[in-house]
Chains A and B, each alone.
Chain A
């Protein structure tokens, strides 16, 4: 069985400050891990994905995430928050996305950026 846990349903940071959104996963097989972003009234957009290559993954808009097997974590970071980063962020895990297996999503973290 697979699942993800996102710690902190709401995170607030000042503009220019570090963004850290936490995700821990549970998987019985080597996982494929994803971060999606959802802006208001829009669908989910892929930020980045880990598919067993480099453990530090760089995504769009300056975001990156590091896969740490020993900690079963895949935290999302950005060195300097921008107002446009305010959105809902979802971590997801899949057993084998290339064969159509379902994605399991976390409950999401709402990021607020304070000017």
Chain B
């Protein structure tokens, strides 16, 4: 069964460092998303991406964040200068038009 894959599963970084989280969505999907979940809190929307551009983003998704689909298969989330409060589980998701989001297993980011 096709699935969304994310790497790395866990990354530890120093505050101020750049981080890139990678996702491979399901191959025939058209819409791509990043969500995050701070420990003990709700799953929060960051950004959606369609047709090689951002279609919607939340207030969380400020200038420190960027997304890219560099090669038609990967979908990356970059955090330019990480802060302590960026520590969270980051989930990538994708969908075609079925109305169902398919999630990856997440990348846990720990900022020290």
User: A interface vs B, CB < 8 Å?
Assistant: 32, 34, 36, 41-46, 49, 51, 90, 92, 94, 97-108
Contact = CB atoms under 8 A, between A and B. Distances in A.
Interface residues of B, number: 28
B104 to A, nearest CB: 5
B103 A104 contact: no
8 smallest CB-CB distances across A and B, nearest first, come from A100-B31, A97-B99, A43-B103, A105-B43, A107-B42, A43-B105, A44-B103, A102-B45
B101 A101 contact: no
Contacts of A42: 105-106
Interface string B53-94: 001101000000000000000000000000000000001010
A46 B42 contact: no
B20 interface: no
A110 B58 CA distance: 26
Interface in B20-53: 30-31, 33, 35, 41-45, 48, 50
